[in-house]
Amino acid sequence: MVATIETNLMGPMRMTSALIEHLKTRDKAVVAYVSSVLGFTPLALTAVYSSTKAAIHSYAMSQRFMLRDTGVRVVEIAPPWVRTELMNSQEAEAAMPLDQFIAETVALLGTDADEILVQAAKPLRANPGPGEHAMVNSFNVQMMTASA
């Protein structure tokens, strides 16, 4: 648990703090944070991971505001479930193929978007509001069934 918090939350915060004054002196500097759709739609089986990604989303939004009058752009990349070694997802049919994720992400990084959301991520990002709990519960039931 502590290692996940240190890596996913404290690491980016410490790196930003260490480098931000230098980045402010550069033209077109970019700080890119990697959150996850699990920061918007938490997976109960990975509650700490999901929580750190929600915190990074909040931190990125705060940094974007605080740096709005500087030359530093703040970008947040929020991947969906991608076929990687994380959670042994290389063969998971429901996960997005890695090469497709990379291609879509690189294309979006070439735009002025602050949040980089590939198509597969958008439904999980668009869940807040009165139906949020039902959507999160349904998502968790689906994921628990898929992993059983």
Ranges of beta strands (E only) in 35-138 are 72-77, 115-116
Q: Which one from 33, 40, 49, 139 is the annotated catalytic residue?
A: 49
Question: In whole angstroms, what is the distance from residue 31 CA to residue 23 CA?
Answer: 9
Question: In whole angstroms, what is the distance from residue 52 CA to residue 135 CA?
Answer: 20
User: Would residue 33 show up in a list of annotated catalytic residues for this protein?
Assistant: no
Handedness of CA 82, 84, 88, 92 (dihedral sign): positive
The residues carrying an active-site annotation are 49
